[in-house]
Chain A
Amino acid sequence: MEKNKLQMVPTRDGFGRGVVELGKTDERVVVLSADLTDSTRAGWFKKELPERFFAFGVSEQDMFGVASGFALAGKIPYACTFGVFATGRVWDQIRVSIAYMNLNVKIIGTHGGISVGEDGATHQALEEITLMRVLPNMTVIVPADAVEAKKATIEAAKHNGPVYIRLGRSEVPVITKESDRFEIGKANVLKEGNDLAIFACGMMVYYALEASEILSKEGIKARVINLHTPKPIDADTVKKAAIETKAIVTVEEHTLSGGFGSAISEIVSQNCPVPMKMIGINDRFGESGSQEELLKKFNLETKDIVKAAKEVLKVKK
């Protein structure tokens, strides 16, 4: 797996392709946008199916309320904006007008995590997994690449209830294939191994695979799991990994407070406690910088995963 040989595509492009394909076959699909139409790729739907595209200008609260109304009327709205605005800015609207009624609204949060780099802390959504997974009825998906993002977009329409899809701005390597299985709530084991398990989501799945190759050269066999659905979590796959490998590393480009690693540790600690290391952003806001610089600054690089793996193996029983 060499990065320079992999195709590089932003996950938001996968959404754009998926929602157009979906819209052409399902008339219930409508796309809502709050001024970031080209950035979120909602514009691709607007171009193909303008009669079912609705713009709201810079007013996210109203857009999510409108999404609720569309869903009450039997439509499947995809409401699109940046991750920061699709979660924190409208959390109460999502809570009361969408999640409480278990409405069929699909929330598209692009420019998630540090992928928005230079825009800095206000635009770097580091909290979406936490904010969304605490809401009853909500499903949270973090696709690993554009191919998976397209599948998640299409599968979300088949799932009855609210779904949050976390997407990125930057180009990331395509590591999954069209033919790979994608089922909401079912993790994919990308690499077998019994020395430890590395759980990752989103663009960090690539780095987890890279880390496993380095570990493999040192004789350490890591199981790499793409847990693309932090909620509902695939508890069976988590428990199986804990029991069989007895050591776990979790990797997210997201706050460690209540996020992806926390969701896994809630399962592990209560069912089959084993040593864990959680890689993520430790209780701080982001800052301006390139994605690569930020990965380094926040200790989210491949070498950090390798280091965490070795540390967890030291305390493994």
Chain B
Amino acid sequence: MENKKPDIKELKEKAIEIRKDILTMLNAAGSGHTGGSLSMVEILITLYGYAMRHNPKKPDWPDRDKLILSKGHGCPALYTVLAHYGYFPKEELMTLRKLGSRLQGHPQRGLPGIETASGSLGQGLSISNGLALAARLDKRNTRIYCIMGDGELNEGQIWEAVMTASQYKLDNICGIVDHNKYCIDGLLKDIKCMDPLPEKWSSFGWNTIDIDGHSFKDLMSAFDKAKTLKGKPTVIIAHTIKGKGISFIECQNRWHGTTPKKDELERALKELDEERRKI
């Protein structure tokens, strides 16, 4: 069941490269969501580099595992990871949010690797339910991964979908909550507190795994464990840091929807290079 585990040092180096590319593309775009992109870099790398069965040369392979990015505003991270794993040329990252680009401000189909449009929050888990039910009908051994934001969990539709997945015992679904603790307006606990999060999910009939969402070791073992849990869907509550990796962006919520200017980008890239030397 377990895939061959990649070298953690290499994964960490990849995370540095991907964070650099995310910040560079956001600087070029001049708008976009920085904080919530940086918080899920390790989650995405673990999915594409380890947990998911996929083939960038055959993005429409019917038996592939599928990733639904329900928190569509985090797409700069997904685009960058897809480019790094060979879905499309990295140069295309610099077209983010530009007229005519396949890298829309929020995801739309048409870019290899993008399974669904998203951006209006709360809808991805329902789409995952449909994919999972269809896979069961077709007797396909595919898994559906769905990344949700913790602020997104305020949406009622999420909880409708949570109940559907447990009612239909969709153990081919693995939800991941990018639990970075913030929505645009501030700390979730001050606005619409979702605690206790694991208890909420488990009382709705899901297996829950609570982990450090920046630890490749935790992420790999969580995805492994989720594959072995049968009869119920599983959610991984990944505790993350909004804006992870850059000292002046981490937990500074003004970075939810702002992008680095030239001098900020230079400082950030320098920090990341220093970080790499410590790996």
Report A's interface with B, CB cutoff 8 A. Answer: 30, 51-52, 54, 56-57, 59, 61-75, 77, 92-93, 95-97, 100-101
Contact = CB atoms under 8 A, between A and B. Distances in A.
Given A72-B127, A101-B109, A61 B115 contact: no
A73 B131 contact: yes
A51 B136 CA distance: 11
Contacts, number: 99
A56 B164 contact: yes
Given A61-B160, A62-B160, A70 B130 contact: yes
B123 interface: yes
A61 B157 contact: yes
Given A59-B164, A96-B120, A101-B117, A70 B108 contact: no
Contacts of B161: 62, 65
For chain B, what secondary structure do more than half of its interface residues adopt (helix, strand, loop), or is it mixed? helix
Contacts of A59: 160, 163-164
B130 A72 contact: yes
B75 to A, nearest CB: 14
For chain A, what secondary structure do more than half of its interface residues adopt (helix, strand, loop), or is it mixed? helix
Contacts of A56: 160, 164
A73 B134 contact: yes
B24 interface: no
Contact of B130 (A51, A52, A68): A68
Contacts of A75: 134, 137
A30 B137 contact: yes
Given A72-B131, A97-B127, A66 B164 contact: yes
Interface of B: 108-109, 115-120, 122-135, 137-138, 156-157, 160-161, 163-164, 167-168
A74 B140 CA distance: 13
Closest 8 CB pairs of A and B: A69-B130, A65-B126, A73-B134, A62-B160, A59-B160, A66-B130, A61-B157, A69-B131
Contacts of A52: 137
Contacts of A30: 134, 137
> Looking at A54, A57, A62, A101, which has the most chain B CB atoms within 10 Å of its CB?
A62
Nearest to B116: A72
Contact of B116 (A68, A74, A92): A68
A77 B130 CA distance: 10
Contact of B126 (A51, A61, A92): A61
A61 B122 CA distance: 10
Contacts of A69: 126-134
Contact of A96 (B117, B134, B163, B164): B117
16 contacts: A57-B163, A61-B122, A61-B126, A63-B126, A64-B126, A65-B130, A66-B133, A66-B164, A67-B130, A68-B126, A69-B132, A70-B130, A72-B127, A93-B126, A93-B157, A96-B123
A96 B109 CA distance: 12
Contacts of B138: 73
Nearest to B129: A66
Contacts of A74: 134
A57 B166 CA distance: 13
Nearest to A70: B130
B130 A96 contact: no
B157 A96 contact: no
Contacts of A72: 115-116, 127, 130-131, 134
A72 B115 CA distance: 8
A65 B130 CA distance: 7
B116 A97 contact: yes
B126 A73 contact: no
B269 to A, nearest CB: 34
A75 to B, nearest CB: 5
> Looking at A51, A57, A68, A74, which has the most chain B CB atoms within 10 Å of its CB?
A68
A72 B123 CA distance: 14
A70 B157 contact: no
Contacts of B137: 30, 51-52, 75
A70 B137 CA distance: 10
Contacts of A66: 126-127, 129-130, 133, 164
A29 to B, nearest CB: 11
Contacts of A95: 120
A291 B134 CA distance: 40
A66 B136 CA distance: 13
Given A66-B126, A70-B131, 11 more contacts: A56-B164, A57-B167, A59-B164, A65-B157, A69-B127, A72-B115, A73-B131, A73-B134, A77-B130, A92-B120, A93-B157
Contacts of B168: 54
Contact of B157 (A62, A67, A73, A100): A62
Nearest to A100: B117
Contacts of B123: 61, 65, 68, 93, 96-97
> Looking at B132, B137, B167, which has the most chain A CB atoms within 10 Å of its CB?
B137
A63 to B, nearest CB: 8
A56 B170 CA distance: 14
A162 to B, nearest CB: 13
Contacts of B135: 73
A281 to B, nearest CB: 30
Contact of A97 (B126, B132, B156): B126
> Looking at B119, B138, B160, which has the most chain A CB atoms within 10 Å of its CB?
B160
A73 B130 contact: yes
